[in-house]
Amino acid sequence: MGEQTHWFTDEREVLDKTTVVERFLRYVKVDTQSDEESESCPSTAKQLDLAEILARELKELGLEDAQVDENGYLFATFKGNVEGSPVIGLLAHMDTAPAFSGTNVKPILHENYDGGVIELEDSVVIDPKDTPELKQCIKDTIITSDGTTLLGSDDKAGIAEIMAALELFKAHPELPRPTLRIGFTPDEEIGRGADKFDIEKFGAKAAFTIDGDFIGEVNSETFSADKGTVVFEGVSVHPGTAKGKMVNAMDWAGVFLTRLPQEETPQQTEGREGFFHPTDMTGDAAKVTVNLILRDFDDRKLAERGKRLEQIIDRIRSEEPRLKVELKITEQYRNMARWLTKQPEILEKAMEAIRKAGIEPNHRPIRGGTDGSQLTQRGLPTPNLFTGGVNFHGPKEWISTRAMGKAVCVIVNLVQLWGARI
Ligand SMILES: [Zn+2]
């Protein structure tokens, strides 16, 4: 068993042989929006509704140990058929973004798409002018919401695609595969998806999140991220008798903000450029706290950003010695490339799996973090692969069934690459 590789390139084969689209249409109807205000894990109990459905369906596919833990993480094992191959993880997240409603999603299939604008309720228009990927999907079946909610291809497409890959391996025991660990996680959209992920219990050598967007995307680089907190303490005096005595903390917080490099902001940067971004400020004349996030792909440059803040603050201290200013930098997450470049076969196999599906990989750095950045840093190398979805987190979100089929091709090829004796 497990000796006969078959490289999947034709999405029609996947769409015929699996229930990927049916599954997707079913999963998006389960409301799983996460909530950043909540302290619990999962942040919303409704995510467990989907977790329980998926646990049952995994059992039906023969993954008998499928179980949802006390934090809403669903893990399951699909036994391999090639001895000595490493355990590989496939991950997707169950929640949808708090940014837009995920209640009562009514998916619409636009068959034989003609290349024009797609009009939905609430005057929502998906226009190929703003979404050039649509041009690559003429004659495909496009799936959207009805315009009143997001669609939820982020990341229910990832879940449906992993399930479809399992269907194919179950139907084709001759395809070589390592033991697979499946992980469906809560709360990715509020940045907590990796927090309670038990890497040891998961027990994989490497994992792949299926959570990227359009066909071909693969990500093995993310930002490295620090947070800066600056506290300004002035001298508080009754304003009637303040001449020559008062030091207003707000004035100096304002000076600080104007001295940040104005060309290194999120709104002025792209690609591999980093930035300083003041996120919020609270306080009064006596005391002001400014929070900033610092981002860079290069850890050395990120550290320099911290030093540059210190220099700006030193100058302010010398200009107003009565003002007290403290800077604290805390680490948030690190670019996954630092670890992934040390184990190049992980990315190489991902690229190879995409090529074997007849697609040119689009290897793109992510200007943000993923669950994979945290998992990689904690010891589970986890690059990200595409789902096929576009315009995540809003009513213009869409996915084509062809893209879903291609994503399944890539997953099945990837698994075979880890199982194949070469
Ligand atoms: Zn996602």
Runs of H (alpha helix) within 320-400: 337-340, 344-356, 371-377
DSSP string, 101-121: --TT---EEETT--SS-EE-S
Q: How far is the CA of 402 from the centre of ligand 1 (A)?
A: 19
**One domain, residues 236 and 290:** yes
Structure tokens at 282: 């609270």
Which CATH number covers residue 325?
A: 3.30.70.360
Domain count, the chain: 2
Q: Is 217 a catalytic residue?
A: no
Instruction: Please list the residues that pair with 144 across neighbouring strands.
Output: 108, 398
Q: Is residue 91 part of a domain?
A: yes
Model confidence at 15: pLDDT above 90: yes
Q: Is residue 5 part of a domain?
A: no
Model confidence at 17: pLDDT above 80: yes
Q: Of 332, 355, 390, which one is at a domain's C-terminal end?
A: 332
Q: Of 317, 332, 347, which one is at a domain's C-terminal end?
A: 332
Predicted confidence at residue 88, as pLDDT, reads: 98
pTM for the model stands at 0.91
Q: How far is the CA of 188 from the centre of ligand 1 (A)?
A: 7
Residue 1: band (very low, low, confident or very high) from pLDDT cuts 50, 70, 90: low
**One domain, residues 214 and 305:** no
**One domain, residues 97 and 187:** yes
Q: How far is the CA of 392 from the centre of ligand 1 (A)?
A: 8
**One domain, residues 310 and 392:** no
Domain boundaries, position 274: 224-332
Q: How far is the CA of 364 from the centre of ligand 1 (A)?
A: 16
Residue 369: band (very low, low, confident or very high) from pLDDT cuts 50, 70, 90: confident
**One domain, residues 229 and 309:** yes
**Measured distance CA(376)–CA(382) in Å, rounded:** 5
**One domain, residues 250 and 293:** yes
Predicted confidence at residue 370, as pLDDT, reads: 85
Q: Is residue 2 part of a domain?
A: no
**One domain, residues 181 and 316:** no
Residue 421: band (very low, low, confident or very high) from pLDDT cuts 50, 70, 90: low
Give the CA distances from residue 127 to residues 107, 135, 397, 419, in Å, rounded to whole numbers and listed in that order.
Answer: 18, 10, 11, 42
3-state SS class at 33: strand
Q: Is 95 a catalytic residue?
A: yes
**One domain, residues 85 and 147:** yes
Predicted confidence at residue 420, as pLDDT, reads: 80
Predicted confidence at residue 19, as pLDDT, reads: 98
Q: Is residue 6 part of a domain?
A: no
Predicted confidence at residue 165, as pLDDT, reads: 98
Which CATH number covers residue 187?
A: 3.40.630.10
**One domain, residues 292 and 384:** no
Q: How far is the CA of 159 from the centre of ligand 1 (A)?
A: 11
Write out pLDDT tens, residues 307-327. 999 999 999 999 999 999 999
Given 188, 213, 221, 226, the catalytic residue: 188
Q: Is residue 341 part of a domain?
A: yes
Write out pLDDT tens, residues 175-209. 999 999 999 999 999 989 999 999 999 999 999 99
Q: How far is the CA of 395 from the centre of ligand 1 (A)?
A: 15
Q: Of 332, 355, 384, which one is at a domain's C-terminal end?
A: 332
**Measured distance CA(280)–CA(274) in Å, rounded:** 19
Write out pLDDT tens, residues 23-51. 999 999 999 999 999 999 999 999 999 99
For residue 222, the 8-state DSSP code is B
Model confidence at 2: pLDDT above 80: no
**One domain, residues 388 and 267:** no
Given 11, 31, 95, 189, the catalytic residue: 95
Q: How far is the CA of 152 from the centre of ligand 1 (A)?
A: 9
Write out pLDDT tens, residues 95-109. 999 999 999 999 999
Q: Is residue 146 part of a domain?
A: yes
